[in-house]
Structures are given as C-alpha cells and as structure tokens.
Amino acid sequence: MIKICKTIDEVRAEVKQYKKDGLSVGLVPTMGYLHEGHKSLIDKAVTENDRVIVSDFVNPTQFGPSEDLEDYPRDLDKDAMLCDDAKADIMFNPEPEEMYAAGSCTFVTVSGLTSELCGKSRPIHFRGVATVVSKLFNIVDPDRAYFGEKDAQQLAVIKRMVKDLNFDIEIVGCPIVREEDGLAKSSRNKYLNKEERMAAPVLRRALELGKEAVAKGEIDADKIKVLIVDTINSEKLSNIDYVEIVDAETIKPVSKIRGPILCALAVSFGTTRLIDNFSYGSREK
C-alpha cells in the first residue's frame, strides 16, 4: 500500500533509509488530481528507480492573484489509488505551512527563459515552480526527477536551474499523453463544459498542421504561426493567449527555423486556459 507522508521529516527519514540500503530514488513532482499523463511519468520512474516518491502539492507560489489556486481540482483518495496501482512507494502530500515555513522569503528565479510564452501572462509562475521544485529536490534528494513535455517551458526552466545550481539530478522529460481526440491530458480539462471540450482538440489539429509544414521544409516561423492561429480561430470558442515558435533551449523567439525549436501555444476556452506544443529538431517527438 502507498505510504502517505505529510511532513518533510517523514520523507527525509524514508529517503535516508533508502540511501542506506543503496537504493535509487525517483521523484515525480505533481500538483495532484492525477491522470494518465501523470501515470506515464510514475510508470517510467518505477522502471528506472528502486523507489519512487510522488509529491502531491498544489503549490501556492506559482499561482497569480487572479488565478485558480482555490478552485484547482483536488482528489487525494483517487491520487493515492493511482500511485498505489502504479507501484509508487510514497505520496508526499504536505500542507502549504509545511512547505513554506512562516516568514519564508527565499525564491529561485530563472531569468531569460521565463520571460516568453507563459511567463508573459503569468509573471510569477516560473519563480514559484523553480522554488518549489528546488525545495522538493532538497527534501527528497532524488537520483532522477520526471516532468511532462506538455509543460515544455517548465521542463526547459528546470533543466536550466539544475545545471546552474549544480543539482546532481537527472531530469527526465516524458512525452505528452493525449485523449483519443488529440486533446493533451490535463487536470484543467475538467473545467471545460461540453461545447468547450468538443472545441479544444482544435489545438492538436492546428499543431499537427504546423508540424507538417515544418517537416515539408517551411522555415518561416511567421507563416507557421499564421497557419496555426487561423486554424484555432476557426473554433469560435477559442481565445488565443499566444502561439509562438522559440529556440528549444533558450526559449527565445526565432524568425527562421534552422535548429531545434519548440512551437508552443496557450489558448483559453471560456475561463480554462490550456497549453500544448510540438518540438522539432533534435528534441523532435
């Protein structure tokens, strides 16, 4: 049965024993409300490590004041069952006061990579992510940590942070898991009403068209973006935040596609903001 730890001391005591026994540790950081996408990360972690810890923590510091922190979906019992089925060993589910002691005022900022894409409309988001992920790395001291490629900018930020702060941890990116109609799995899909849910797969169709055009040799980033934007706008319920083509490593916009790129978008349906992307070049998927 999955062990649920609520305190940092409990997790540390378990990890200390693992390390004493010479066991490797994989960490899967999540904000809970687990779905097949998270399960694919846990499955990979279970195959690559002796012990797996899944953190389940809705991190307040990565939500802006007008974002959905209070409403973010939560279902701890279901999460525990999924972790158990996937054969994870520990679910770490601290209260906010446990993760952020009173007076907490230290943050991790990854500059540059965080100024584009989601960083533009969510200015404090990546500071919160980098801070909580650093804390989790310090608490769990994993050998490997697993992140989904749906949050491609987050993955790039974490890789940069690990390099810059010399964390001795392998960061493993895992492919996007999709619904049958192509919509990327996300805890926020639950917010979509019936009409919005029917409209949302346009994101995948638009990205596929863009990717095909790149594969056929189109290197003009603006032309690809127009193709994607026009396709998305054909769905009346969509409201584009951004469609952008950036260098896969620096996350800076490119005008010509000459190396590995990330084509990423954020689009709202009603009040639900969804993200999706494709990579092309060495990180192609």
Residue ranges in contact with ligand PAF by CB under 6 A: 29-31, 59, 62, 129, 132-133, 151, 154
Shortest distance, CB of residue 205 to ligand PAF, whole angstroms?
Answer: 25
Q: Which residue, 31 or 274, has its beta carbon nearer to ligand PAF? A: 31
Active site residue 38: yes
Quick count: other Cβ atoms within 10 Å of Cβ 173?
18
Q: Which residue, 117 or 257, has its beta carbon nearer to ligand PAF? A: 117
* Helical segments of the chain, H only: 8-20, 36-48, 76-85, 96-99, 118-121, 125-140, 152-164, 194-199, 202-215, 221-233
Write phi, then psi, for 267 (nearest 5 degrees).
Answer: -140, 135
Closest CA to 125 of 59, 186, 196: 59
Shortest distance, CB of residue 151 to ligand PAF, whole angstroms?
Answer: 5
**Given 5, 29, 31, 38, the catalytic residue:** 38
Closest CA to 50 of 2, 84, 6, 88: 88
Shortest distance, CB of residue 38 to ligand PAF, whole angstroms?
Answer: 8
Shortest distance, CB of residue 133 to ligand PAF, whole angstroms?
Answer: 6
Q: Which residue, 43 or 151, has its beta carbon nearer to ligand PAF? A: 151
Q: Which residue, 94 or 201, has its beta carbon nearer to ligand PAF? A: 94
65 Cβ partners below 8 Å, 6+ apart? none
Three-state DSSP class for residue 155 = helix
Orientation of helix 125-140 relative to helix 8-20, angle to 10°: 50
Q: Which residue, 59 or 231, has its beta carbon nearer to ligand PAF? A: 59
Handedness of CA 59, 60, 66, 72 (dihedral sign): positive
Shortest distance, CB of residue 154 to ligand PAF, whole angstroms?
Answer: 6
Shortest distance, CB of residue 177 to ligand PAF, whole angstroms?
Answer: 13
Number of H helices, E strands in the chain: 10, 9
* Contact between 108 and 127 (Cβ < 8 Å): yes
* Contact between 249 and 216 (Cβ < 8 Å): no
Consecutive H or E run containing 27: strand 25-30
Q: Which residue has the tokens 């310090």?
A: 138
- Residues designated as active site: 38
